[in-house]
Each structure stands twice: as C-alpha cells, then as structure tokens.
Amino acid sequence: MEVIVWSAWLAGLAIGLFVIFHFWLMGKPAGCSTGYGNICGLVCQRVPYFRQGEYRHLNNAKLWFLLGIPLGGLLSALSSPEPWHFSFSMGMYDDILPQTYAGKAIWLVFGGALLGFGARLAGACTTGHALVGGAMLNPPSLLAGVIFFLSAFFTTHLLFGT
C-alpha cells in the first residue's frame, strides 16, 4: 500500500504543530503506548496493575486517541492514488525476514512483544519520550530516545548484515 508522503520538512512542521495543539487541547502531553494498557485492562479485568494509578479510569482520552489512529491511517490511504487493499508486503524487510507467512507472523508478534514490554519498562514510546519528552527537554526522555535509536540502529544493521 503506497501512500502519499509529504516532504520531511512539511511533515515535521505538521507533527510539531500537532504536539503543541495537543497540549493546548488536552492539557497533557501526547502519548501512545500507555493506551495499550487501557485495552489490556478492559480485556483482562483481574490484573491489579491495570486497575490503579494511571489506569484508574480506563475509558479515557488515551484509549480513544489510540482508537482514532487507525481511522487516520485509513483516511490517509483512501486519499492516496492507489486503491485501498490488504497487503502483507514489508518492502526491504521481505528479503531478510522469515520467508513463510507463519514465520513472518511469529517474528512480528515477538518484535511487537518487545515493543510493548520495553515501552512500559521505559515509561513511554517514541512519541512520549523522543517527540514530546524531547520537546520538553526532559533528561530521562532524551536518554531513552537516544537508547531507542541506538538499539534500533544496531538491530537493523545486524538484520541487513552491514
């Protein structure tokens, strides 16, 4: 699925303005990965961790923010010249990932689990730490952002064998 991609400067400007707009509208920093905990809390109600602290009220803005993202992706795909369709292609990754569908699926679930567990252990994901935390010049967030990047850099180089 090919979507229209804006020039990096324009997209960066738009996302920067989005972060400011989100602060003004919601009064809180934007974040993505926390919302997955809301879903976990709604699905499995017997885990005490998803009943307390920031998960005291599960039907909150973070959950609806997360539910809105696919609609945004859908809008973007529908307004692109290519007609909307399902695809399991991952571009350059198709050559280096497991070649069978099942292998690829297991690889992705394992990678996703690392993302979910790592994001909770670090406190936030790329949005919360690198983007919003970086904008507030929060030292732990900057540290986390640098480690995110370095770790992904080494992983990608190992995968592509360069």
Partner 1 sequence: MYEESLFKRCRNTLVSGFFVYRTQIFGLLTGILFGFLMSRAGATTYDYHAKMFLFEDFQLMIVIVTAVIIAMLGVWLLKKTHIHAVATGEEVDFVKKPYQKGLMIGAALFGVGWGMTASCPGTIPAMIGEGKIAGLFALAGILIGTMAYGILQSHLQLAKQQASRSTDAN
> How many chain residues touch partner 1 (CB under 8 A)?
122
Shortest gap between Cβ of 83 and partner 1 (angstroms)?
10
Q: Which of residues 119-148 bind partner 1 (CB under 8 A)?
A: 119-141, 143-144, 147-148
- CB 38, CB 58: distance < 8 Å: yes
Cα–Cα distance for residue pair 51/58, rounded to 1 Å: 8
Shortest gap between Cβ of 100 and partner 1 (angstroms)?
13
Cα atoms in the 13 Å half-sphere on the side-chain side of 158: 6
Q: Which of residues 41-70 bind partner 1 (CB under 8 A)?
A: 41, 43-44, 47-50, 59-70
Q: Name the phi and psi angles at 2, rounded to 5.
A: -95, 130
Q: Which of residues 70-109 bind partner 1 (CB under 8 A)?
A: 70-77, 84-88, 90-93, 104-105, 107-109
Closest CA to 92 of 27, 149, 159, 138: 159
Shortest gap between Cβ of 144 and partner 1 (angstroms)?
5
- What x-and-dash track marks residues 1-20 binding partner 1 by CB under 8 A? x-xxxx-xx-xxxxxxxxxx
Q: Say how many Å lie between the first and final Cα of the chain, rounded.
A: 27
